[in-house]
Amino acid sequence: MLAAQVLVPKPIDENPLVLTDIPMPFPREKEVRVRVHTCGICHTDLHTAEGDIQLPKLPVVPGHQIVGVVEASGREARRFKEGDRVGVPWLHHTCGNCRYCKNGNENLCERAEFTGLQADGGYAEFSIVDEAFACPLPNDFSDLQTAPLLCAGVIGYRALRLSEIRRGERLGLFGFGASAHIAIQIARHWNCEVYVFTRSREHQEHARALGAAWVGRAEDSPPEKLHGAIVFAPAGNLVIDALRVLDRGGTAVLAGITMTPIPEIDYANYLYHERRLRSVANATRRDAEELLRLASEIPLRTEVQIFSLSQINLALQKLKQSQIRGAGVVAISSVHTGN
């Protein structure tokens, strides 16, 4: 089968993903093989390609926002039948027995495995997933629209929850890419005022079109202090900017898997008065289920830029340069167009 592999991590401008023909994977007892229709493009894939995060295996096929259909099942797999449409998100497997798993925090499992990292992902014609970690998908979203929901959407939703933002409050979003353009729709559904901080003029216009009450750059001051903030861009200096505009008792959430160093924080000016700073680490299956239900209820509408598998390096280059409006999606064999 055709797949895009990272053989040796290097800067994305050096085209680290290589198209190659690799053996067809076969599902084990409780696994299913998914024929990939589309796969969303994520900053984590960029970090994988460039080696910004530790890579447990090489070569590896990145991609963890997979939409496709079940094409084959292991002997003990019963949850799905051939032809069922499923999503494959970032969380690939957990131990199920540790205190994190038992307390509903499987995203923190110390033995967790992730799609596109420990397990080959969706930049390929086929992918393998444990049936317990695949998501049934709503039929009212096309393959292209659904892919970004499986990580960008889920992480944005979890970040919103961890921010403890309440209906009608003021929320700041720092960076306005795939995840933020979904999170703003959820926040507006909750009647929140959303303030967007991004240096890209096109992204500022996109934020306004999606209902932002105010847009500016990170160094700008909004007209009101914010009750919550989410930092999507992996730039440590933005943490100071988020805390700077946060009201007393507010929470700033860091939604990236990695970040450049955070500058020294002046306690009195930025953290005192019970401001909180917390990170998002992965997401649970429950997060995905709740987000997909919410997506149909609102309904969420993802804006996508489509790339072929042969354009994957170009797609990640554009992602790094903030040149994608909404979310990037690799179309491999998209067939479902939604109801």
- CATH value at residue 208: 3.40.50.720
Residue that the structure tokens 């354009």 belong to: 311
In a domain, 44, yes or no: yes
Among the listed residues 271, 266, 269, 262, the one whose alpha carbon sits nearest the alpha carbon of residue 233: 262
Structural domains in the chain (count)? 2
- Tokens representing residue 313 in the block: 């390096």
Structure confidence at residue 339 (pLDDT)? 63
Shared-domain flag, residues 288 and 145:
yes
Q: Which amino acid is at 149?
A: L
Shared-domain flag, residues 37 and 159:
no
Shared-domain flag, residues 130 and 160:
no
DSSP state, 260?
P
Shared-domain flag, residues 55 and 120:
yes
Per-residue pLDDT of the chain (339 residues), as tens digits, is: 999 999 999 999 999 999 999 999 999 999 999 999 999 999 999 999 999 999 999 999 999 999 999 999 999 999 999 999 999 999 999 999 999 999 999 999 999 999 999 999 999 999 999 999 999 998 889 999 999 999 999 999 999 999 999 999 999 999 999 999 999 999 999 999 999 999 999 999 999 999 999 999 999 999 999 999 999 999 999 999 999 999 999 999 999 999 999 999 999 999 999 999 999 999 999 999 999 999 999 999 999 999 999 999 999 999 999 999 999 999 998 667 776
Shared-domain flag, residues 232 and 313:
no
Shared-domain flag, residues 49 and 88:
yes
In a domain, 29, yes or no: yes
Reduce the DSSP state of residue 117 to 3 states and report it.
coil
Q: Is the peptide bond before 138 cis (omega within 30 degrees of 0)?
A: no
Q: Distance between CA 91 and CA 89 in Å, rounded?
A: 6
Shared-domain flag, residues 125 and 218:
no
Rounded to 5°, the CA angle 213-254-288 comes to 85
CA distances from 14 to 8, 10, 80, 267, 313 (A): 11, 7, 40, 41, 9
Q: Distance between CA 119 and CA 48 in Å, rounded?
A: 13
CA distances from 318 to 93, 256, 282 (A): 30, 18, 24
Structure confidence at residue 97 (pLDDT)? 97
Contacts of 213 (CB under 8 A, 6+ apart): 170, 193, 194, 195
Shared-domain flag, residues 227 and 87:
no
Q: Distance between CA 38 and CA 156 in Å, rounded?
A: 20
Shared-domain flag, residues 166 and 250:
yes
Q: Distance between CA 268 and CA 216 in Å, rounded?
A: 25
Shared-domain flag, residues 144 and 215:
no
pTM equals 0.95
Shared-domain flag, residues 47 and 139:
yes
- CATH value at residue 140: 3.90.180.10
In a domain, 337, yes or no: no
Q: Distance between CA 201 and CA 224 in Å, rounded?
A: 22
- Tokens representing residue 325 in the block: 């409006």
Among the listed residues 57, 47, 69, the one whose alpha carbon sits nearest the alpha carbon of residue 234: 47
Structure confidence at residue 306 (pLDDT)? 97
Shared-domain flag, residues 110 and 173:
no
Q: Which amino acid is at 307?
A: F
Query: Within a 13 Å sphere around the CA of 28, how many CA atoms are in the beta-carbon half?
Result: 3
Domain span including residue 160: 154-279
Query: Within a 13 Å sphere around the CA of 237, how many CA atoms are in the beta-carbon half?
Result: 4
